[in-house]
Amino acid sequence: MLKKILTVDDSRTMREMLRHTLSGAGFEVVTAEDGADGIEKLRESQPDVVITDINMPVMDGFEFIEKVRKSEEYNRVPILVLTTESAPEKKQRAQSAGATGWIVKPFDPEKLTRAVNRVMP
Amino acid sequence: MSLDDIKETFFAECADQMAELETGLHEIQSSGPDIDTVNAVFRAVHSIKGGAGAFGFAALVSFAHVFENALDVIRNDLNQVNEDRMDLLLRSVDVLSDVIEAERTGSEPDDTSGLANDLETAFGLAEAAEDADDGDDALADFAPVMIDLADLGVAGTPAGGSFHISFAPHASLYLKGHDPLRFFRELADLGTLSVTCDTTDLPKLSELSPDESYLKWQIDLETESAREDIEAIFDWVDGECALSIEETGAPAADDGASLDAFLQSLDESDGGIADIDDFGRDPEMEPADAANPVADLIGSLEAADIGAPARQVEEQADAGNSDDGSEDAGARAGKKEVKKASQTIRVESEKVDRLINLMGELVINQAMLAERIGQAGFGNASPAALALVELQNLTREIQSGVMAIRAQPVKPVFMRMSRIIREVCSATGKKAMLELEGEHTEVDTTVIEGLIDPLTHMIRNAVDHGIEDPEKRQAKGKPTHGTVKLSAYHSSGRIVIEIKDDGAGINRERVLSKAIEKGIVARDAKLSDDDIDNLIFAPGFSTAETITDVSGRGVGMDVVRQSIQALGGRVNISSEPGHGSLFSMSLPLTLAVLDGMIVKEAGQTLVLPVSAVLETATLKPGDVYTIGKNNRVVKMRNQLIPIIDVGRQLGFADKRTDFTKGTIMVVEGGKNGMGAFLVDSIEGQQQVVIKSLESNYKRVPSIAAATILGNGQIALILDCDHIVSHQASDPDTAVIQSMAG
- Tens-digit pLDDT profile for residues B81-139: 787 888 888 888 888 888 888 888 888 877 888 888 888 887 777 654 444 444 343 33
In a domain, residue B539? The reply is yes
pTM for this entry: 0.52
pLDDT tens digit string along B645-662? 888 888 888 877 777 778
pLDDT at residue B211 is higher than 90: no
- The 10 Å Cβ neighbour count of residue A32 is 25
| Residue B522: burial class (beta carbons within 10 Å; 0-12, 13-18, 19+) | exposed
Q: What is the per-residue pLDDT across B501-512, written as a single tens digit (0 to 9) for each?
A: 998 888 888 888
User: In chain B, how many domains are there?
Assistant: 5
Residue bearing the bigger pLDDT, B568 or B366:
B366
Of B365, B386, B407, the one marking the end of a domain is B407
Total residues found in chain A within this entry: 121
Torsion, Cα B470 B96 B118 B55, to 10 degrees, reads 180
Q: How confident is the model at residue A109 (pLDDT cuts 50, 70, 90)?
A: confident
> Rounded distance, CA B697 to CA B739, Å?
7
Mean pLDDT of B576-596: 82
pLDDT at B443 over 60: yes
3-state class percentages of chain A: helix first, strand second, coil last, to nearest 5 = 45, 20, 35
Q: Do B150 and A67 touch (CB under 8 A)?
A: no
CATH topology of domain A4-119: Rossmann fold (3.40.50)
Local confidence band at A6 (pLDDT 50, 70, 90 cut-offs): very high
Between B711 and B511, the more confident residue is B511
Of the candidate ranges A63-77, B237-251, B542-556, the one whose mean pLDDT is the lowest = B542-556
- Verify that B426 and B509 share a domain, yes or no: yes
Helix axes B125-154, B113-122, angle to 10 degrees: 120
**Tens digit of each residue's pLDDT (9 = 90 or more) over B256-283:** 445 555 556 555 554 444 443 433 444 4
Interface of B with A in 261-320 (CB under 8 A): 288, 291-292, 295, 315-316, 319-320
Say whether both B482 and B461 belong to one domain: yes
H-helix or E-strand spanning residue B587: strand B580-588
Residue in B175, B330, B336 closest to A69 by CB: B175
Yes or no, beta carbons of B13 and A13 under 8 Å apart:
yes
Residues 658-697 of B with CB under 8 A from A: none
Identify which has the larger pLDDT, B255 or B581: B581
- Note the pLDDT of residue B262: 54
Both B528 and B557 in one domain: the answer is yes
Our CA-based measurement puts residue B281 at a distance from the nearest CA of chain A, in whole angstroms, of: 13
> What is residue A88's predicted lDDT score, i.e. its pLDDT?
76
pLDDT digits (tens, 9 = 90+) for A25-60: 888 899 999 888 988 888 888 898 999 988 888 888
Q: Residue B599: its pLDDT value, please?
A: 93
Judgement on whether residues B430 and B464 belong to the same structural domain of the protein:
yes
B503 and B390 share one domain? no
pLDDT of residue B598: 92
Cis peptide leading into A106, omega within 30 of 0? yes
Query: Is residue A94 a contact partner of residue A81, using CB atoms and an 8 Å limit?
Result: yes
Q: Please indicate whether, in this complex, the C-beta atoms of A121 and B333 are within 8 angstroms of each other.
A: no
| Contact residues on chain B for A91, CB-CB shorter than 8 A | 138, 142
d(CA B724, CA B561): 15
Long-range contacts, B688-696 (Cβ 8 Å, 24+): B688/B363, B688/B593, B688/B594, B688/B595, B688/B596, B688/B607, B688/B715, B688/B717, B689/B360, B689/B361, B689/B363, B689/B364, B689/B592, B689/B593, B690/B591, B690/B592, B690/B593, B690/B594, B690/B717, B691/B360, B693/B739
Calpha distance B403→B398 (Å, rounded) = 8
- The least confident of B18-22, B112-116, B485-489 is B112-116
CB B693 within 8 A of CB B706: yes
Of B588, B612, B644, at which residue does a domain stop? Answer: B588
Average pLDDT value over all residues in chain B: 75
What residues form DSSP beta bridges with B442?
A: B409
- Is residue B306 a part of any domain in this protein? no
List the single best residue of B5, B39, B47, B69 to mutate versus A (max A Cβ within 10 A). Answer: B47
Identity of the residue numbered B63? F
Angular region, A30: left φ>0, alpha ψ -120 to 50, beta rest: beta
More confident residue, B471 or B258: B471
The predicted-structure confidence for B527-553, as pLDDT tens digits, reads as follows: 888 888 888 887 777 644 444 444 444
- Beta-carbon neighbour count of residue B448 at 10 Å? 22
Give the closest of B131, B186, B323 to A70, CB-based.
B323
d(CA B294, CA B709): 81
Same domain, B369 and B416: no
| B381 at interface of A, judged by CB pairs closer than 8 A | no
For residue B248, what pLDDT is reported? 79
The answer to whether B512 and B532 are in contact (CB under 8 A) is yes
Is B297 a residue whose pLDDT tops 80? no
Q: Which amino acid appears at position B462 of this protein?
A: A
Report the alpha-carbon distance of residue B560 to residue B547 in Å, rounded: 15
Picking from A99, A42, A80, the residue whose alpha carbon sits closest to that of residue B173 is A99
Average of per-residue pLDDT across B696-705: 79
Long-range CB contacts (< 8 A, 24+ apart) of B365-368? Answer: B366/B391, B366/B392, B366/B395, B366/B710, B367/B686, B367/B687, B367/B709, B367/B710, B368/B710, B368/B711, B368/B712
CB within 8 Å: A79 and B236: no
- Contact list, A12 vs chain B (CB under 8 Å): 9, 12-13
- Residue B413 CA to residue B456 CA, distance in Å, equals 9
Residue B655's SS3 state is coil
Among B311-315, B348-352, B666-670, B724-728, the least confident range? B311-315
Residue of A nearest to B128 (CA): A87
| Percentage of chain B modeled with pLDDT above 90 | 3
Which of B544, B559, B588 is the endpoint of a domain?
A: B588
Is residue B497 helix, strand or coil? strand
Instruction: For residues B430-434, give the mean pLDDT.
Output: 87
Most confident of B344-353, B405-414, B563-572, B619-628: B405-414
The Cβ-side half-sphere exposure at B501, using a 13 Å CA radius, reads 29
Tell whether the model's pLDDT for residue B308 goes beyond 50. no
User: Which of B10, B13, B316 has the CB atom closest to A73's CB atom?
Assistant: B316
- Would you tell me which residues 544-563 of chain B have a C-beta closer than 8 angstroms to some C-beta of chain A? none
pLDDT at B237 over 70: yes
B246 and B167 inside one domain: yes
Mean pLDDT of B566-586: 84
In terms of pLDDT, which residue wins out, B298 or A105?
A105
CA pair distance B332, B521, nearest whole angstrom: 66
The domain that holds B580 is classified in CATH as: 3.30.565.10
State residue B320's pLDDT score: 43
Min distance B333 CA to chain A CA atoms (Å): 6
Report chain A's mean pLDDT, rounded to a whole number. Answer: 85
Give the model's pLDDT for residue B486.
Answer: 92
Q: In angstroms, rounded to a whole number, what is the distance separating the alpha carbons of residues B321 and B280?
A: 31
B347: pLDDT confidence band, cut at 50, 70 and 90? confident
Question: Is the pLDDT reported for residue B554 higher than 60?
Answer: no
Tell how strand B631-636 and strand B613-618 pair up.
Answer: unpaired
- Is there a contact between A58 and B337 if contact means CB atoms under 8 Å apart? yes
pLDDT (0 to 100) of residue A7? 92
Q: Is B6 on the interface with A (CB under 8 A)?
A: yes
* pLDDT (0 to 100) of residue B171: 83
Q: State whether residue B139 sits within 8 Å of chain A by CB.
A: yes
What totals of helices (H) and strands (E) does chain A contain, helices first?
A: 5, 5
Residues B526 and B460 in one domain: yes
H-assigned helices in B155-258: 171-175, 180-190, 227-233
Please tell me the predicted confidence (pLDDT) of residue B288.
43
B40/A contact by beta carbon, under 8 A: yes
**Structure confidence at residue B329 as a pLDDT band (50, 70, 90):** very low
For residues B462 and B560, membership in a common domain is answered with: yes
| Residue B630 and residue B720 share a domain | yes
Q: Do A88 and B333 touch (CB under 8 A)?
A: no
Candidates A78, A87, A111; nearest CB to B146: A111
Per-residue pLDDT at B143 exceeds 50: no
DSSP letter assigned to residue B654:
P
B269: in domain = yes
Shared domain check, B633 and B676: yes
Average pLDDT of span B274-296? 45
Of B634 and B329, the structure prediction assigns the larger pLDDT to B634
**In chain B, what percentage of residues exceed pLDDT 70?**
77
Contact yes or no for A16 and B9 at CB 8 A = yes
Residue B71 reports pLDDT greater than 80: yes
CATH number of the domain where residue B7 is located = 1.20.120.160
Taking the CA of residue B669 and the nearest CA in chain A, the distance in Å comes to 48
CB B439 within 8 A of CB B477: no
Are B635 and B661 in the same domain? yes
Residue B29: pLDDT above 90? no
Laid out side by side, the sheet with B593-601 consists of B681-689, B593-601, B604-609, B714-718, B703-708
Residue B341 lies inside a defined structural domain of this protein: no
The least confident of B62-66, B266-270, B429-433, B655-659 is B266-270
Tell me, yes or no, whether B445 lies in a domain: yes
Task: Please tell me the predicted confidence (pLDDT) of residue B492.
Answer: 62
- What is the model's pLDDT at position B716? 92
Tell me the residue range of the domain where B270 lies. Answer: 155-300
Length of chain B: 741
Q: Which residue has the higher pLDDT, B285 or B491?
A: B491
Judge whether residue B156 has pLDDT over 60.
no
pLDDT on residue B219: 85
What integer is the mean pLDDT of B194-220? 83
Interface of B with A in 397-456 (CB under 8 A): none
**Which residues in chain A have their CB less than 8 angstroms from residue B15's CB?**
none
What's the confidence (pLDDT) of residue B69? 85
Spell B585-602 as b/e; 16+ CB within 10 A means b: bbbbbbbbbbebbbbbbb
Mean pLDDT of B405-416: 85
Asked if the model's pLDDT at residue B241 lies above 90, the reply is no
